[in-house]
């Protein structure tokens, strides 16, 4: 085998390998108009989503950036900006105040599960539990997961229900499921 043939073969292999990596990274759904990469952390991806600027600001204000950048695994039910906007007027501004950091942390950690739960696993748990599965969050909240019209829904401790609108956004330290409502702890 000549050197040029070896180099050509190596170049072809490198191109094929590069293509495989690109395909893998782009197999995740886009969120907020931005590609989500499965080799980046939850925080590294979330900061690029134009639909999650409020969530990112809240995570920063609560001091959870390092936690959600950590090893995990985490499942994050990520409310969109529209979900935060649907809260009563002034709620987000009040939660973002330094004196309300504990309350903000509680709300945010009620969206996080200490596991890597893809939608197929959640659907199986729902089915195995007869149509509703308790999801324990790192914030101590218990969400009720169920399925409605082929979509996973989560009911919080106040009776509010969020629907997973984009499922299975793989991260290097877990998975994000985009939801359309902010989940709230009781009391």
* Euclidean distance between CA atoms 84 and 162, whole angstroms: 12
Name residue, tokens 């609560």: 62
Global confidence as pTM: 0.84
pLDDT at 27: 78
Options 2.30.180.10, 2.60.200.30, 3.30.710.10, 2.40.420.20; CATH for 31-179 is 2.30.180.10
Helices (H), the chain: 3-26, 42-46, 53-62, 65-69, 81-85, 91-95, 101-109, 119-128
pLDDT at 12: 34
Domain ranges for the chain, please list them: 1-29, 31-179
* Euclidean distance between CA atoms 46 and 62, whole angstroms: 15
| pLDDT tens sequence for the chain (187 residues) | 443 333 333 333 333 333 333 334 447 888 988 989 899 999 999 999 999 999 999 999 999 999 999 999 999 999 999 999 999 999 999 999 999 999 999 999 999 999 999 999 999 999 999 999 999 999 999 999 999 999 999 999 999 999 999 999 999 999 999 999 999 999 7
pLDDT at 171: 94
């Amino acid at each position: 085998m000549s050197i040029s043939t070896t180099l050509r073969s190596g170049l072809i292999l490198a191109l094929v390998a590069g293509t495989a990596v690109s395909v893998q990274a782009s197999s995740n759904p886009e969120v907020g108009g931005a590609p989500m990469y499965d080799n980046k952390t939850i925080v590294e991806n979330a900061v690029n989503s134009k639909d999650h600027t409020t969530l990112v600001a809240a995570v920063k204000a609560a001091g959870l950036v390092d936690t959600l950048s950590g090893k995990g695994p985490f499942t994050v039910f990520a409310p969109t900006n529209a979900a935060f906007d649907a809260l009563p007027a002034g709620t987000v501004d009040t939660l973002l105040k330094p004196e309300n950091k504990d309350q903000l942390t509680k709300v945010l950690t009620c969206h996080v599960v200490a596991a890597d739960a893809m939608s197929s696993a959640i659907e199986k748990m729902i089915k195995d539990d007869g149509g509703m599965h308790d999801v324990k969050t790192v914030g101590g909240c218990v969400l009720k997961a169920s399925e409605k019209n082929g979509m996973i829904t989560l009911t919080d401790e106040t009776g509010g229900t969020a629907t997973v609108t984009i499922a299975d956004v793989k991260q290097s330290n877990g998975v994000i499921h985009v939801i359309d409502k902010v989940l709230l702890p009781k009391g």
